[in-house]
Amino acid sequence: MNPSELLDCVTSVSCLVTQTTTGLIIGALLFLVAAGLTLIFGVLGVVNFAHGSLYMLGAYLALTVFRATDSFLAAALGAGLGVALFAVVFERLFMRRVYGTDVLMQLLVCYAFILILDDVVKIVWGGEFLSMGMPEAFQSPPFFVGGGVVPVFYLFLMVVAVAIALLLWWVLGYTKIGKIVRAAAQNATMTSALGINTNLVYAGVFACGGLLAGLAGALAAPVRSMSPGMGFSILIESFIVTVIGGMGSVSGALVGALLIGLVRSFGSIGFPLFVEGAMFAAMVLILVLKPSGLLGREPRP
């Protein structure tokens, strides 16, 4: 515990800028993963415990595509689409069979996939830490804001996250597709009785979740090292985010992700050993005071 350093940081502009941008990019990555998790939960009522593994898969796919093409755009697209495809297969062949059964079965299927994917990554890419390195397009000198350093890639990452958040908000709230998804979340049987193919909606929601997780993995690849266990730690964090924001609420995921991102970056200065503890404490507090989350709806009956 060193609250004095935290106070020093908050009062110095350069430290404030650096830590805030760090917090925001952690939050941006968390949002992309948590948005998929919360969307799948909102529509299908299952928690995809294997969601972190999709993120991991995205990072590794991005690495391979980037090494082959040397283009970060291709890497991000390849990772997003590849993981989306995998998510659809995962949903159609496996998760579909455990909808409506007890949580135990959903848990076991996802547990199996976490184990399998970790080992597949070990077989294909090896078990040691890998790193992509910063793509050349982003190697221009960083911006300086009030003495704090803001790398170009950080700005790019935030722009992408904001764009995706806006896109999700528009699609879910103001388009026909969004209306169908919301209807399926409300009452799947009724929606299907109205002639809408809910199986397609489910597969689509999983694809969208996979796309976001894969994209998050690709965006994380230049700034974070990757290892086969990376999926699980982000799963726990994005779960905390969805609980704080409210399960099933995408805007809640955004608020929760930014909150957790800032707690992480400022916590690493003020209370480095208790960062995780602080996140869990925040989650427990929410669960006790308002179990439906900051922006969540009341749970479905």
Q: Return the bridge partners of 226, or none.
A: 130
Of 104, 128, 298, 301, the residue at the interface with another protein (CB under 8 A) is 104
Indicate the residue among 105 and 155 with the shorter CB distance to another protein. Answer: 105
Type of residue found at 279: M
**Does the footprint of another protein cover residue 291 (CB under 8 A)?**
yes
CA distances for 284 relative to 123, 266, 278, 279, 290, angstroms: 38, 20, 10, 9, 10
Of 97, 126, 137, 146, the residue at the interface with another protein (CB under 8 A) is 97
User: CA angle, 290 as apex, 284 and 47 as ends, to 5°?
Assistant: 70
Hey, what are 214's tokens?
């894969």
Nearest to 164 by CA among 254, 281, 240, 74: 254
**Does the footprint of another protein cover residue 126 (CB under 8 A)?**
no
Q: Three-class SS of residue 39? A: helix
Residue 118 beta carbon to another protein: minimum distance, rounded to whole angstroms: 5
Indicate the residue among 147 and 229 with the shorter CB distance to another protein. Answer: 229
Unique residue bearing structure tokens 């709230």? 173
**Do 160 and 138 form a contact (C-beta atoms < 8 A)?**
no
Indicate the residue among 2 and 69 with the shorter CB distance to another protein. Answer: 2
Cα separation of the two ends of the chain: 44
**Do 218 and 164 form a contact (C-beta atoms < 8 A)?**
no
Q: Three-class SS of residue 209? A: helix
**Does the footprint of another protein cover residue 232 (CB under 8 A)?**
yes
Site for another protein in 248-267 (CB under 8 A): none
**Does the footprint of another protein cover residue 290 (CB under 8 A)?**
no
Indicate the residue among 151 and 293 with the shorter CB distance to another protein. Answer: 293
**Does the footprint of another protein cover residue 113 (CB under 8 A)?**
yes
**Does the footprint of another protein cover residue 283 (CB under 8 A)?**
yes
Applying CB under 8 A, which residues contact another protein? 41, 46-47, 94, 97-98, 102-105, 107-109, 111-116, 118-120, 122-123, 232, 236, 239-240, 243, 273, 276-277, 280, 283-284, 287-288, 291, 299
